[in-house]
């Protein structure tokens, strides 16, 4: 088994590793360049310590297979699964952005609140993805697959810098009968429906409950299940202990509070019964503020405000990626590749100087013309 470096590694003769994006409990994600399609992708590699564990490998494969079925604009696509050198990879769409968990933490550092419009827009996009997944049918039999994500949480909600929102990580998705009793509890304790926490039967309404948990956190700045340990949070999840007084203090809109409260009903029968039913109520709220496009514009403006540094860094990386790409294409015939790369990087600055010089000449010409006109008028 070979250890994957964050650069200069080619996977499956096709994917050129550029940099490490992040690492979790089971896998590490890298940014890579697809040499065939000439586009950026994300490579998710299972940690070496789990690569010989059949259960983890099976779960990893299941994530790839489950997500590959899903083709929707609000779902991060899986495009390939690779087994190479006793290592396992999932190839996904590259997310040029951050996850919602990062945005929440960033806002805490900046001491700014996430506006209700922004919070409900994000969840509205997630609800679109869930509606698609919940209604997906088997192409051969025409029967509903009854997909339940079971891990709708901020870390799995991806926020693109260009304004798109996508749901990711269908690794513990449930497929089959409408309601299935859990053999084991899966998901994150802080974002779990009571029936899921109790190890009971779950259906699509469990995913909607999780949307309520996220909305509550975005609006109040606090998790519903706060605690010093997972066991403490788990007990709160089973008992559905929710501080509605805090919600009332932070959310002045009775309409929005009603949506959140209905999502967080302990009895699934009292919740929204489908994602589309929830989206209809969200759409009514959006219409009060000019409609979807106006809300999306508000959301993108908030990203610019809260992620200024990240957007700047992303722009710099994009520029560096272009330099790297041109360098790899042209440096094979250069005697001194390092010197050539530096020269290539400097071209951008030279171009800016040329443009500034042209602007200066134009400004001087305009000034002279104005002086001549003034003299003629005299």
CA distance 378 to 363: 23
CA distance 43 to 48: 15
Q: Using the CB atoms, write b or e for 182-193: b if 16+ within 10 Å.
A: beeebbbbbbbb
Q: Give the catalytic positions in this structure.
A: 151
Q: Which residues contact 8 (CB under 8 A, 6 or more apart)?
A: 17
What does the chain come to in residues?
A: 378
Q: Which residues contact 331 (CB under 8 A, 6 or more apart)?
A: 337, 340, 341
Taking a C-beta distance cutoff of 8 angstroms, is the pair 278, 211 a contact? yes
Taking a C-beta distance cutoff of 8 angstroms, is the pair 166, 190 a contact? no
How is residue 137 annotated by DSSP? Answer: B
Q: Which residues contact 304 (CB under 8 A, 6 or more apart)?
A: 311
């Amino acid at each position: 088994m070979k250890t994957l470096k964050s650069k200069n590694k080619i996977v499956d003769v096709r994917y050129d590793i550029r940099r490490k994006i992040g690492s979790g409990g089971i896998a590490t994600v890298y940014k890579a360049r697809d040499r065939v399609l000439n586009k950026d992708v994300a490579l998710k590699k299972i940690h070496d310590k789990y690569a010989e564990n059949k259960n983890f490998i099976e779960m990893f494969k299941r994530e790839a297979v489950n997500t590959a079925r899903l083709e929707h604009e609000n779902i991060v696509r899986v495009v390939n699964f690779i087994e190479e050198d006793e290592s396992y990879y999932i190839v996904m769409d590259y997310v040029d952005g951050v996850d919602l968990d990062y945005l929440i933490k960033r806002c805490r550092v900046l001491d700014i609140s996430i506006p209700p419009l922004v919070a409900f827009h994000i969840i509205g996009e997630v609800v679109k993805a869930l509606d698609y997944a919940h209604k997906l049918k088997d192409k051969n039999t025409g029967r509903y697959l009854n997909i339940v994500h079971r891990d709708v949480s901020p870390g799995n909600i991806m926020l693109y810098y260009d304004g798109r929102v996508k749901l990711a990580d269908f690794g513990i998705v449930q497929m089959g009968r409408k309601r299935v009793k859990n053999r084991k509890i899966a998901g994150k304790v802080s974002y779990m429906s009571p029936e899921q926490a109790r190890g009971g039967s779950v259906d699509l309404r469990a995913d909607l409950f999780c949307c309520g948990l996220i909305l509550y956190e975005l609006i109040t700045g606090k998790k519903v299940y706060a605690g010093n340990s997972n066991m403490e949070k788990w007990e709160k999840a089973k008992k559905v202990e929710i501080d509605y007084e805090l919600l009332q203090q932070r959310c002045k809109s009775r309409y929005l509070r009603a949506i959140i409260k209905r999502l967080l009903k302990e009895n699934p029968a009292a919740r929204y019964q489908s994602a589309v039913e929830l989206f209809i109520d969200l759409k009514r709220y959006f219409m009060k503020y000019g409609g979807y496009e106006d809300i999306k514009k508000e959301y993108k403006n908030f990203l610019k405000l809260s992620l200024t540094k990240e957007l700047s860094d992303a722009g710099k990386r994009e520029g560096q990626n272009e330099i790297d790409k041109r360098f790899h294409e042209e440096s094979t015939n250069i005697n001194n590749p390092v010197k050539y790369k530096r020269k290539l990087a400097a071209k951008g600055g030279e171009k800016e100087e040329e443009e500034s010089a042209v602007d200066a000449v134009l400004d001087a010409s305009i000034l002279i013309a104005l002086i001549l006109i003034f003299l003629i008028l005299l």
